Chains A and B, each alone.
Chain A
């Protein structure tokens, strides 16, 4: 770990004033300290924003939707009765993420910004990593890439987004409240938070330097209750997804899909919104055939690199399972 100055911000204006291109906000620390210990991240200043939880740590749900404070902890959201009752996909994603200890520590905003688990990115002994050393190449493309992405990848980077919560949120049209160092605020769709890797995989998000996620908003919609998150992994718990699917359905009484929302995790460069699958489902009666067609559409653009060649098939099966399970939910 490189040396840094530690500064504790008591409120949002102070936090913003302490930010900068060499600074990092410190909340749960579960990604930041991890990568600092590996010498992958080298911020010169840590701005401890935990005191901002008083301002940005609440969770509220009403008829218009759900508002999650950026500094609420994952465990707090997982245990929140309104989320458990009305947003099963969000709850499922939270309780299947990480461990109880990590969920007690990690903030929701920090969790959205979780970095890839690509082992070539995390290990400084690899020179070739376009994400860590721009322009150096990608050792993972021909390497150990079983867990890496098949959707949204480029020839420069196949790193995967490993998180769960963002996959559920991106399916549910979540947006972010942001505040910039100059005090200006804006709203950003979660789907636009992460950038496609393209030829700049070292630039991961569309956040401006020092911009802070203060809240996550999930608009109310008819499909929330019929929503779930299915996670397929090697271990039964405490494991990143090989494939996951967040699904929300609004079904007509005859089983026809009025509206569908589909997010995919463990398979893509960023929290993946599978709009092609949604389009394929709309107006169809949900059954094995239409679910399979939607899954086919979702992975039409998949690109594999050897070890991860199985992931489109696993992704399709995961999505079919999630869709059929969601259709069978009692709501």
Chain B
């Protein structure tokens, strides 16, 4: 039977996006909103001793100015998805970090609110802040096992001592901010004690539960709407402080309140990827078999939070090695709390490991692909479990052939094109296969159209289309006749759109609801007397081409099958709790916790997607500009629902990697613990001219041990190997091994 899953399908929301009619949160019309402007702290540590509002309140149109003095008791801090407690904002006079929300100016117009914000004077009792790792006053602690785990397998130290060849190196990655082009916005309106929030979100149920808890009201009284999200990348996954305060503001004014935070405020009122440091030690035999792998990481977080990403949970599992040791330390500084950003654990940690593997290959005089082949793991080195598909070397082989790896002269600095030094590099990519509990409602109409409702999130990933394709496939319809509603807490609960889990979560839930529809239609068609399918085995009937069809081809038009059950629609509501997930997963979801089943925490298999990434860089021989002329990623990431959107996701991930390796760095002023380049002109992300040939290869990888539909997810894996592949290519071009990102002109002068 032909399946729509895997067929290229243009996005069903494409027309809305190209006509400007896609409604992002701050586009939603509300009646007569007041406009909010955030006051943020000018110190990174200390207390607020007073405000002077005289000038600000004199600005015509100003309605109120909220601070901890006026509303501090009206909301509690949001719960974090990870890492425990976080910094507070307007609850009291404490300042935890620069740019912390300390007040909200409310006015009739944005212009007045902003002006008044500039006219507020704040008095502080400031203390010297600690900005990052090495600052006086920064507190270091070993991360306990809990959310994340250290591994000690075999005797890594002993094996290192005995190794024929060793490699030790330190690596570092910088602070980075997601910088979606959509700003962080929140609009709140109250009606009869019920709160509606329009806010771009990767998890509307999570935001609902969180804000309800912060305000002390039942979640049923809160509705979150987020139909379109203008980029998220992790930044819109967790609840942040602003939302509840805007709700408080709207309640006090008795009027909707709209906040569109400024670009610079976005650096401190939301999360970010904290800077990391790594020490890698590898031991190997002379013929390139790993005998020891030690990966120690250090990560920065805020004072109260223990947030960390512990990507050595992944790097420990990539290669066959009998002796493994990992450790993570966290350093508390006077900073806002970090959070998830695209492939949170792997992006920094795989930079370290995959750079080190390249360094080891050079030391062993082995081709870096061959070194990886000799250490390709047959089972998870940590758990001993089989992989739910592991096509890493197939990705390398097919990718290398297509990329022309064989033409690479292995000697560093040996390839040149005119004024430009040319370098080729590669790296492995890996990302865990996750899935979460999810509910969905499917309504099939007699006219052969259907509606799917699920509170999922299209953050640019093509989720609307994934849902339509899945429903169309299972209902025997065309994707264009499926109407999909998402991004609203009035819809059936869906999990956080993150961790490459959303497609699998949504599609498996929608498929389950469709199966319920099919089953009901089939039972009615086979048990009631009339109709061509009477007496058949209902389990054998399928929905194909707008008909209910038996294996021998006898079919009944959908309109007849539906009408038999209902004059209107046949509706089914399904909750999909993946095998291995806790039985109370749906309850957790409603409580705002993401019930995710991680690919490395399963008892049956180790579920991962794999890829091989190839890069060609050019470095100007004299002035050292670094440009990426070609990128190729070969991925085996389960079944692909929509190759069009999948291609865009892979490509976007790879370009994110280009960006992380060469451009992105949030510059921190150490004395003030303040982000300095908090704008899109000086926080660099690539422009169109930075991106040239990008090729994506999708290898077959059908393994239903991952989940019933065999979907592994792919939003994250595209970035994972890029940092190292680029650093390895820069080394190949120039002979310079750069172990701290981003790699910049000055590193190569």
A–B in direct contact per CB < 8 Å: yes
Interface residues of A (CB under 8 A from B): 1-3, 37, 39, 117, 119-120, 123-126, 139, 142-144, 146-147, 230, 232-240, 242-243, 310, 313-314, 317-318, 320-321
User: Are A1 and B669 in contact, with the CB atoms below 8 A?
Assistant: no
User: Are B684 and A239 in contact, with the CB atoms below 8 A?
Assistant: yes
Q: Mark B256-269, 1 if CB is under 8 A from A, else 0.
A: 00000000100000
User: Are A143 and B746 in contact, with the CB atoms below 8 A?
Assistant: no
Which of A125, A142, A243, A321 has its CB near the most chain B CB atoms (within 10 A)? A125
Nearest 10 A/B pairs, CB to CB: A310-B746, A237-B689, A236-B689, A144-B676, A144-B667, A125-B42, A39-B118, A238-B687, A119-B676, A236-B690
Q: Do A318 and B667 form a contact, CB below 8 Å, given A1-B111, A310-B746?
A: no
Complex Cα distance, B677 from A144, in Å, reads: 9
Q: Mark B668-708, 1 if CB is under 8 A from A, else 0.
A: 11111010111001101011111000000000000000000
B142 within 8 A of A: no
- Known A3-B115, A119-B677; further 12 A-B contacts with Cβ < 8 A: A2-B115, A123-B264, A123-B676, A126-B672, A143-B671, A144-B667, A144-B668, A232-B623, A234-B684, A235-B684, A310-B745, A314-B749
B627 within 8 A of A: yes
Distance from A142 Cβ to chain B, minimum over Cβ atoms (Å): 7
User: Are A235 and B623 in contact, with the CB atoms below 8 A?
Assistant: no
Complex Cα distance, B111 from A3, in Å, reads: 9
User: Are B627 and A236 in contact, with the CB atoms below 8 A?
Assistant: yes
User: Are B667 and A317 in contact, with the CB atoms below 8 A?
Assistant: no
Chain A residues with Cβ below 8 Å from B21 are none
Complex Cα distance, B668 from A234, in Å, reads: 18
Label chain A's interface by main secondary structure.
Answer: loop
User: Are A314 and B686 in contact, with the CB atoms below 8 A?
Assistant: no
Chain A residues with Cβ below 8 Å from B744 are 234
Q: How many residues of B contact A (CB 8 A)?
A: 36
* Cβ-defined partner of A147 (8 Å) among B622, B670, B682: B682
User: Are A317 and B682 in contact, with the CB atoms below 8 A?
Assistant: no
B663 within 8 A of A: yes
Q: Mark B72-99, 1 if CB is under 8 A from A, else 0.
A: 0000000000000000000000000010
* Cβ-defined partner of B669 (8 Å) among A37, A144, A147, A321: A144
Complex Cα distance, B264 from A234, in Å, reads: 21
Q: Do A117 and B681 form a contact, CB below 8 Å, given A318-B623, A320-B622?
A: yes
Query: Can you list 28 A-B pairs with a CB-CB distance of less than 8 A?
Result: A1-B115, A39-B118, A117-B682, A119-B677, A120-B676, A125-B42, A125-B98, A125-B674, A139-B669, A139-B671, A143-B670, A144-B667, A144-B668, A144-B669, A146-B746, A232-B623, A232-B625, A234-B662, A236-B690, A310-B745, A310-B746, A314-B623, A314-B624, A317-B623, A317-B624, A318-B623, A320-B622, A321-B623
Chain A residues with Cβ below 8 Å from B689 are 235-238
Distance from B67 Cβ to chain A, minimum over Cβ atoms (Å): 17
Chain A residues with Cβ below 8 Å from B690 are 235-237
Chain A residues with Cβ below 8 Å from B623 are 230, 232, 243, 314, 317-318, 321
User: Are A234 and B114 in contact, with the CB atoms below 8 A?
Assistant: no
Complex Cα distance, B745 from A314, in Å, reads: 8
Chain A residues with Cβ below 8 Å from B627 are 236
Chain B residues with Cβ below 8 Å from A317 are 622-624, 749
Distance from B176 Cβ to chain A, minimum over Cβ atoms (Å): 15
User: Are B663 and A235 in contact, with the CB atoms below 8 A?
Assistant: yes
Q: Mark B595-629, 1 if CB is under 8 A from A, else 0.
A: 00000000000000000000000000011110100
> Closest chain A residue to B41 by CB distance?
A125
Chain B residues with Cβ below 8 Å from A233 are 625
Which parts of B184-198 form the interface with A (CB within 8 Å)?
none
* Cβ-defined partner of B745 (8 Å) among A1, A234, A321: A234
Complex Cα distance, B671 from A142, in Å, reads: 9
Distance from A170 Cβ to chain B, minimum over Cβ atoms (Å): 21
Chain B residues with Cβ below 8 Å from A320 are 622
Complex Cα distance, B120 from A125, in Å, reads: 12
Chain A residues with Cβ below 8 Å from B672 are 126, 139
Q: Mark B97-108, 1 if CB is under 8 A from A, else 0.
A: 010000000000
Complex Cα distance, B676 from A144, in Å, reads: 7
Chain B residues with Cβ below 8 Å from A120 are 676
Distance from A110 Cβ to chain B, minimum over Cβ atoms (Å): 17
Complex Cα distance, B691 from A236, in Å, reads: 9
Chain A residues with Cβ below 8 Å from B684 are 234-235, 239
> Closest chain A residue to B42 by CB distance?
A125
Distance from B667 Cβ to chain A, minimum over Cβ atoms (Å): 4
User: Are B676 and A143 in contact, with the CB atoms below 8 A?
Assistant: yes
User: Are A314 and B687 in contact, with the CB atoms below 8 A?
Assistant: no
Distance from B6 Cβ to chain A, minimum over Cβ atoms (Å): 36
User: Are B682 and A321 in contact, with the CB atoms below 8 A?
Assistant: no
Chain A residues with Cβ below 8 Å from B624 are 314, 317
Complex Cα distance, B676 from A237, in Å, reads: 22
Q: Do A119 and B682 form a contact, CB below 8 Å, given A2-B115, A143-B669, A318-B623?
A: yes
Complex Cα distance, B672 from A261, in Å, reads: 42
> Closest chain B residue to A321 by CB distance?
B622
Which parts of B720-749 form the interface with A (CB within 8 Å)?
744-746, 749
> Closest chain A residue to B667 by CB distance?
A144
Complex Cα distance, B623 from A317, in Å, reads: 6
Complex Cα distance, B689 from A234, in Å, reads: 12
